[in-house]
Amino acid sequence: MGIRLGIIGVEDNLELMGSVASEYSEFTNSLFLHTRSEDVIDILESHQHDIDMWLFSGYTPYLIAKEWGKVEKPMFFVKYPGSSLYKTLYYALYQHNLNMNELSFDCFTPSELKQVFEELAVSFTSNHLKMYEGSAELLVKHHYELWKTGKTKAAVTCVWAVSNELKKMGVPVFRVTPTKSAIQTTLNLALRTNEMLLFKNKQIAVQMFEINNMFGLSKNMYSSDEIYNKEIGITQKLLIYSKKVQGSLKTVGPGRYVIFSTRGELSDITGNFTTVPDVEEIKQLSQQDITCGIGIGQSAYEAEINAGKALLHAKEYKNGAWMVFLDNKTINGPLGKPEKITYTYESKKYQAISERTLLSVATISKVDSILGKIGKSEITAHELGQHLQIMPRSARRILDQLLKNGFAKEIAEETPHPRGRPRKIYRVLL
């Protein structure tokens, strides 16, 4: 079976996209018609498990899917290059005798329009251009107001819904549709992406497990036979689990185990590295506080080193945390936890800040990731400590170092409790 390609388009281009895609033997195509924004999400939700890649007829449905945020498969949209616009302008200029500056445009960038205008030896003005900002209604208003006030005589739009609405309002409109070559370019990109993913899924992945307080020696004393039986029990559970991820198990010391597998297998069982595997063996071991570091690498050695680094980061959190160290030097975790963040281990930007503040690159990256997650640059030491799973005084030291070196400002204070000490609010400027 080929790559299961889901094609989402509107009625004036879906048939063309399906026809071009059918020329590729690598794809097994499923066509989905959408007429409203809500249709896009309904289609994605209903067919997520039946499709390997998604192809959208344009940027608008692609953006809807991206903002929905629940699509885990690769997504592509057909771009509207100059050739698509030339075809539309031919009808407007030569068959309808319109002047270029009598037209309003949407969705193109100023540079794209400028290039087309220059090639046609026509002066360019961006006053009649509106970029797509997530609302077809705003595009309709843009074209209608220009036409109503006599500034333009017709609209050129890339959005099918905008074209339909303007026609209802009596505005002359020309719809830009994708060319066959643009569709072919996007399909070729999808094929290259699939090849990359196949290679990526075959990367070496290593899981390094550490059983915290393996035998509970602080509370109980065990005979050598009892300790041996406990080790055997843990090993048997991990052997069963390792078969589920097509891996091999190695014991590397008391309470520490390593499983060698592939990125694809671990990505599947962890939901693309977002959750702890929902399997019985891991649930049983979690009762003994199992901490895990996952490392990805081009070689077994690199993956094992990265797994060790991930384990160290996991141990910074409460027992039982799972962290992933990817081959692009980013760290993700704790898996399945609300405080989960993604931060980098190497960055020129963070390195420069690190040298001035003496904070580690990882710490600075964590702070930046947390700010991105909460969607603001203002934070207290108490909030930062909660996200980092550290004491507020430790978080305050981090913020004070940023403050001292010009990467933060004190902007206010808050008193969460009537008798409590006021908390400083910092604006972090990374």
Domain ranges of the chain: 3-79+184-198, 82-175, 202-337, 348-428
User: Which residues, listed in sequence order, are joined to residue 8 by a DSSP beta bridge?
Assistant: 32, 56
> Whose CA is closest to 24, among 197, 179, 188, 199?
188
Give the per-residue pLDDT at 105. 92
d(CA 61, CA 73): 15
| CATH class of the domain at 202-337 | alpha beta
At what angle are helices 381-388 and 392-404 packed, to 10 degrees? 120
CATH numeric code, 3-79+184-198: 3.40.50.10330
* Full DSSP string of 151-179: S-SEEEES-HHHHHHHHHTT--EEE----
- The model's pLDDT over 220-256, given as tens digits with 9 standing for 90+, comes to 556 667 777 878 888 899 999 999 999 999 988 778 8
> The pTM is what?
0.59
Range 348-428: architecture per CATH: Orthogonal Bundle (1.10)
Within this chain, domains 3-79+184-198 and 82-175 share the same CATH topology: yes
Neighbouring residues of 317: CB distance < 8 A, sequence distance ≥ 6? 323, 333, 334, 337, 389
Give the per-residue pLDDT at 15. 92
Q: Residue type at 417?
A: H
- The model's pLDDT over 249-298, given as tens digits with 9 standing for 90+, comes to 998 877 889 999 999 999 999 988 999 999 999 988 876 678 999 999 88
Q: Does the 82-175 domain belong in CATH 3.40.50?
A: yes
- The model's pLDDT over 314-342, given as tens digits with 9 standing for 90+, comes to 888 877 899 999 888 889 889 988 878 88
